[in-house]
Amino acid sequence: MGTASIPPEEKKKIVICISGLAGSGKSTVARRIAEHFNLKYYSGGDALRSIALEMGYRISDRGWWETREGMRFLEERLRNLELDRLVDERMLKLAEEGNVVLDSWTMPWLLKHADLKVWLDASEEVRAQRISKRDGISFEEALKRMRERETRTKEIYRVLYGFRLGEDFEPFHVILNVDNLNQDEVFKALCIVIENMLLKKREGKRSL
């Protein structure tokens, strides 16, 4: 698929949030959506990793959150919730600019006005299989690390904001089950949703 053409007056108002648990493919598809529609891409996870780096943690690109260092930083975040609050405040300011795709676990709840909030739903087994393949570890180890990370992360957001990650779907416009979809299929499905959304918005303006 080539780059989509969106009129400037439409594009500057676009705010898209893409979320989903580890292994759902949210970061990959969020980057592709941003590139395809010529939007800016911002990741809450990347922002948190930058803070971890500043604090002296050893950072790796892929699968870092499931490593010992990543889990140690999760414990740090549980002790100091202001780390997450700071990142979320930055993400909210970036959202105000418009013309963005936000890869985030918190923005669908914290950002009241967004054109589209998507949750990528995948079973625990499928997600663990993907993490196992990505990180070159056994399925059992991937599942163990994934569960440990999610337990701590859910606790952070429950204490900080009161929502239950992976259980509360009220903010989302679209919930897409990706168990039987590859990355290209997820990307194409979301492109259709976004293009239809923009088309309806333009048609609505014409009818006024």
Give 111-140 pLDDT, tens digit per residue. Answer: 988 999 999 999 999 999 999 998 889 999
Q: Is the pLDDT of residue 174 over 90?
A: yes
What count of other Cβ atoms lies within 10 Å of the Cβ of residue 33? 24
CA 84 to chain CA centroid, Å, is: 15
DSSP 18: E
Mean pLDDT for 81-106 is 95
| Cβ-contact 190, 1 below 8 angstroms | no
Sequence-ordered list of residues with C-beta below 8 angstroms from that of 148, at least 6 positions apart, any chain: 71
* pLDDT interval class at 108 (50, 70, 90): very high
pLDDT at 199: 64
pTM: 0.88
Mean pLDDT of the chain: 90
Mean pLDDT for 105-112 is 95
CATH architecture of the domain with residue range 8-202: 3-Layer(aba) Sandwich (3.40)
Residue 23: phi and psi, rounded to 5, are 90, 0
pLDDT at 190: 97
pLDDT at 63: 78
Q: Which helix (H) or strand (E) holds 120?
A: strand 116-121
pLDDT at 207: 42
DSSP 26: H
Which tens digit of pLDDT belongs to each residue from 25-66?
999 999 999 999 999 999 999 999 999 999 999 987 777 888
